[in-house]
């Protein structure tokens, strides 16, 4: 039996086994002079140091020095595995090009698809591992990773294999949850034949990958996969046992949010251009609204209406969207700063959005996302005693120590 006690901690945590909606997001439990006992990777006591139970023999003790202790961060939306890089496109966008016009010219996602098809699995894995290591330093203890840069049978399988290997290699450092995003774009060999590609996803890919990924995601967007095609794929994926996610209302208002609600998706992501009806639909159906401020920032687009969504009773999560195109950043500190400064989320809401609600966005709210008895012992000690250090460290890391499954890993 392995045990660890973190004492003298200023504990801040959301509570519960489900996403917090609307005003619940601001409810953060604070225990000053707190202690957390973890046995075999699971939290067995949280409370004041005064009422600690008898410690197990050989219990390791960590003194947090009065600093803030928060749940490990969860990055619920990343495109972690990819070939090549796209710095040229970034420069074109600085000069006025748009994300969609580059994509329509055959760049964008297709350019990473070309690179991913030729790069071998080992190299893809090594690159992704570097990002995972950096994420760990920023306090991320679980990450979601999507395929979607293969868009053919072999390369999609290669990507899912890489994600699976990463998940096994990192089991005691960072959890990796896999998503099949074969519907990320229509690849060049299917240009002008979108419905044939949709048939290919439904008839060939879904049966092939149904045991290799937990989630099914689509880039539902004007001129990519529109509502009818998306609904068709989601229905097939649901029938095959996938949980659903959607890139929704990112570039234009298309109704992806309403579709996510209709299909019972676990999360709808991006939402820069979500309509009021879309927001209400997510709130009503309990679909987590996963917002990705780094992407809006990098694309110079308006931020998603976080305040409006929370005030409408939705459950908001935050994630990075790390990818080589629209958002080459996995920065948790900058995500926090943007959420607090520009999206008018409170520090408490931001913490809920990166922990418990992010856990809900990957359907893990029963085991992750808060410091509570019975949950995995994934936690972070910050540099300061308060959680206001989170946005105060603008774009800088304020994580001092990271625990995964009750083990100090950073």
Name the segment binding Fe ion (CB under 5 A); options: 25-33, 316-324, 359-367, 389-397: 316-324
C-alpha–C-alpha distance, residues 199 and 191, integer Å: 14
Task: Determine, following the binding rule CB under 6 A, whether residue 249 of this chain makes contact with ligand NIG.
Answer: no
How many CB atoms within 10 Å of residue 153?
14
C-alpha–C-alpha distance, residues 397 and 131, integer Å: 15
Task: Determine, following the binding rule CB under 6 A, whether residue 170 of this chain makes contact with ligand NIG.
Answer: no
C-alpha–C-alpha distance, residues 402 and 216, integer Å: 30
Place of tokens 């936690």: 379
Task: Considering the complex, state which of residue 86 and residue 404 has its C-beta at the smaller distance from ligand NIG.
Answer: 86
Binds 108, which of ligand NIG, Fe ion, none (CB < 5 to 8 A, cut-off by type)? ligand NIG
E-state strands within 134-277: 140-146, 175-183, 215-218, 243-248, 267-270
Binds 325, which of ligand NIG, Fe ion, none (CB < 5 to 8 A, cut-off by type)? ligand NIG
Task: Considering the complex, state which of residue 292 and residue 380 has its C-beta at the smaller distance from ligand NIG.
Answer: 292
Residue 205 DSSP one-character state:
I
Furthest-apart CA atoms within the chain: distance in Å:
68
Cross-strand bridge partners of residue 7 = 63
Q: How many residues bind ligand NIG (CB under 6 A)?
A: 14
Task: Determine, following the binding rule CB under 6 A, whether residue 320 of this chain makes contact with ligand NIG.
Answer: no
Q: Which residue is nearest to ligand NIG (CB)?
A: 325
Task: Determine, following the binding rule CB under 6 A, whether residue 267 of this chain makes contact with ligand NIG.
Answer: no
Minimal CA–CA distance to 230: which of 247, 214, 243? 247
**Minimum CB–partner distance for residue 77 and Fe ion (Å):** 6
- Using CB under 6 A, which of 110, 142, 295, 370 touches ligand NIG? 295
Task: Determine, following the binding rule CB under 6 A, whether residue 93 of this chain makes contact with ligand NIG.
Answer: no
- Using CB under 5 A, which of 119, 229, 258, 321 touches Fe ion? 321
Binders of Fe ion in range 49-78 (CB under 5 A): none
Task: Determine, following the binding rule CB under 6 A, whether residue 116 of this chain makes contact with ligand NIG.
Answer: no
Task: Determine, following the binding rule CB under 5 A, whether residue 221 of this chain makes contact with Fe ion.
Answer: no
Instruction: Answer whether 41's CB lies under 8 Å from 326's CB.
Output: no
Where do runs of H (alpha helix) occur along 246-377? 256-263, 276-285, 293-299, 306-311, 332-341, 347-354, 356-361
- Using CB under 6 A, which of 39, 109, 246, 362 touches ligand NIG? 109
How many CB atoms within 10 Å of residue 118?
10
Binding-site ranges for Fe ion (CB under 5 A): 321
Q: Where on the chain is the footprint of ligand NIG (CB under 6 A)?
A: 79, 108-109, 112, 219, 247, 250, 295, 321, 323-327
């Amino acid at each position: 039996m392995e045990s660890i006690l973190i004492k003298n901690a200023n504990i801040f945590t959301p509570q519960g086994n489900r996403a917090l909606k609307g005003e619940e997001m601001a409810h953060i439990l604070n225990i000053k002079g707190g202690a957390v006992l973890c046995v075999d990777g699971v939290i067995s006591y949280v409370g004041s140091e005064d009422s600690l139970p008898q410690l197990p023999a050989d219990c390791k003790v960590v003194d947090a020095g009065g600093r803030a202790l928060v749940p490990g961060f969860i990055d619920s939306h990343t495109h972690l595995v990819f070939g090549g890089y796209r710095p040229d496109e970034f420069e074109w966008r600085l000069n006025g090009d748009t994300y969609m016009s580059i994509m329509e010219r055959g760049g964008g996602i297709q350019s990473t698809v070309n690179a991913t098809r030729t790069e071998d699995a080992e190299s893809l894995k090594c690159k992704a591992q570097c990002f995972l290591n950096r994420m760990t330093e920023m306090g991320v203890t679980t990450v979601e990773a999507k395929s979607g840069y293969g868009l053919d049978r072999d390369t999609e399988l290669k990507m899912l294999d890489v994600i699976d290997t990463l998940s096994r290699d990192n089991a005691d450092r960072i959890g990796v949850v896999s998503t099949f995003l074969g519907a990320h774009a229509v690849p060049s060999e299917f240009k002008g034949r979108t419905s044939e590609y949709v048939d290919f996803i439904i008839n060939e890919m879904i049966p092939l990958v149904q045991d290799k990924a937990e989630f099914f995601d689509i880039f539902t967007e004007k001129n990519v996969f529109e509502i009818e095609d998306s609904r068709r794929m989601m229905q097939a994926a649901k029938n095959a046992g996938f949980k659903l996610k959607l890139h929704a209302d990112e570039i234009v208002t298309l109704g992806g949010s309403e579709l996510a609600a209709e299909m019972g998706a676990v999360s709808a992501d991006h939402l820069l251009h979500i309509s009021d009806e879309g927001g209400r639909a997510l709130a009503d159906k309990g679909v987590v609204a996963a917002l990705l401020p780094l992407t809006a920032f990098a694309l110079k687009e308006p931020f998603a209406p976080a305040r409006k969504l929370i005030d409408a009773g939705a459950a908001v999560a935050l994630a990075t969207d790390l990818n080589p195109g629209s958002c080459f950043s996995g920065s948790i500190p900058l995500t926090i700063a943007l959420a607090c400064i520009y999206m008018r989320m409170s520090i408490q809401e931001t913490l809920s959005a990166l922990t418990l609600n992010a856990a809900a966005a990957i359907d893990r709210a029963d085991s992750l996302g808060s410091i509570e008895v019975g949950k995995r012992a994934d936690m972070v000690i910050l540099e300061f005693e308060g959680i206001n250090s989170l946005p105060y460290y603008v774009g800088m890391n304020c994580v001092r120590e990271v625990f995964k499954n009750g083990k100090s890993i950073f």
